[in-house]
Amino acid sequence: MSVPPNRTTPRVSATFDPYTISEIQRAAATGIYDIRGGGSKRRVPHFEDLLFLGASMSRYPLEGYREKCGTDVVLGARFAKKPIHLKTPVTIAGMSFGSLSGAAKEALGRGASAVGTSTTTGDGGMTEEERGHSETLVYQYLPSRYGMNPDDLRRCDAIEIVIGQGAKPGGGGMLLGQKISERVGKMRTLPAGIDQRSSSRHPDWTGPDDLEIKIEELREITDWEKPIYVKVGASRPYYDTALAVKSGADVIVIDGMQGGTAATQEVFIENVGIPTLAAIRPAVQALQELGMHRKVQLIISGGIRNGADIAKALALGADAVSIGSAALIALGDNSPSLEAEYEALGTFAGAYDDWHEGRDPAGITTQDPELARRLDPVLAGRRLANFLSVLTLEVQTIARACGKSHIHNLEPEDLVALTVEAAAIARVPLVGTDWIPGQQRY
């Protein structure tokens, strides 16, 4: 664009940037808010704002690939007769059949089982694809209770009571009719093709005192064998953690705002909840004050992408992490090989998030049988297994560099922050200083 010499160069507003303008125009044209899948896309303080202090003089590193660095984790030893023992602290987060295709659920099970970790069901119940291919399967107990079945409760390995998720703490589900096939509808006891508005809170209890009794009921039904997880969307992690401990949880899952969802309002995804990084220290503090750190395990999720993210979450006090979006990408979601088809949908590889429309070219977030057939669950499962192995190796690499013989020996002392806000949030010193904002260290 050429600008005449008598005119100033046009500039876009920082407030009304092109995306904001397009959203206003879209809303004015359609009369409905934007719905999409995925998690928060805007920049928030995250794990890349932290750095590890590798061993040098004051710390002694372990020999890479030679000296052992353990990665296993036990979840749910507080009350359950059969706690879960995983080989890696990276679990697969709950994602529903309905949101995902059956082949995608199978692939998740294959990939997770190959490396010794767990998968999780989602809203809509348990499918044979995932039970059949997941060595360790966590069964979600959700507010909607879609597909809730005591037989499945008895054949799972752990129960996750979902109170909220990071993309939408306080929000209910929104699986639109395009993805409600006959099978999905039948599993949820609803007609095919209609929008499903799942409730935002559990229908038969009203707060932490009731949660304690609900947990007791689930334990009684399953003869106290299975660990009980409680999952919350990150918003008030200190209090939610303390109340979950009080309610009798074996494991607490905290999902930050970068955590994904099948479909929710864009304005909700980007404006409700707090970043994953900000959720960890308050939760750990609550556990420590109650004397329950490492006794009640803490799983952190929401925007986990690589081994460094995992190592940092563990160093800040988590026992394990969950991945959802990253697992879908490993299966083949947003692959550049599908660029032409993404463009035909008005988007591009790397930005596709209209999962609710059910037209996913990768065959992952769809119930269209033709599209779903595109995903080879064996191949996709192998890709996920590769990715999970890489994540585990990366965590080990960092842990050895910090002189740790087990990844759970990582600690806040191993970290510094690149920014003042990350230092304050993660409660580690600003890099090059001994200053933790808001804290007197000496």
Residues at the contact surface with another protein, assessed by CB under 8 A: 30-32, 144-145, 148-151, 153-154, 176-177, 188-191, 194-195, 197, 199, 203-205, 210, 213-214, 216-217, 220-224
Whether 37 and 354 have beta carbons less than 8 Å apart is answered as: yes
74: CB partners within 8 A, 6+ apart: 83, 84, 85, 86, 297
Tokens of 34: 């934007």
Q: Least distance from C-beta 116 to another protein, angstroms?
A: 30
Q: Least distance from C-beta 149 to another protein, angstroms?
A: 7
Which whole-number Å values give the CA distances from 73 to 76, 81, 131, 321, in the listed order?
10, 16, 22, 11
Residue closest to 403 by CA, chosen among 169, 84, 18, 59: 59
**DSSP symbols for 412-423:** GGGEEESSHHHH
Q: Least distance from C-beta 202 to another protein, angstroms?
A: 9
**Dihedral angle computed from the Cα positions of residues 408, 413, 417 and 423, in that order, rounded to the nearest 10 degrees:** 100
3-state DSSP assignment of residue 91: strand
Q: Of 216 and 341, which has the nearer Cβ to another protein?
A: 216
Q: Of 145 and 359, which has the nearer Cβ to another protein?
A: 145
Q: Least distance from C-beta 23 to another protein, angstroms?
A: 16
Q: Of 93 and 180, which has the nearer Cβ to another protein?
A: 180
Whether 283 and 237 have beta carbons less than 8 Å apart is answered as: yes
Q: Of 146 and 342, which has the nearer Cβ to another protein?
A: 146
Q: Of 142 and 277, which has the nearer Cβ to another protein?
A: 142
Q: Could you tell me how far CA 85 lies from the centroid of its own chain?
A: 20
Q: Least distance from C-beta 218 to another protein, angstroms?
A: 9
Q: Least distance from C-beta 181 to another protein, angstroms?
A: 16
Show the DSSP H helices in 272-376 as ranges.
276-289, 307-315, 325-331, 339-344, 369-372
Q: Of 218 and 393, which has the nearer Cβ to another protein?
A: 218
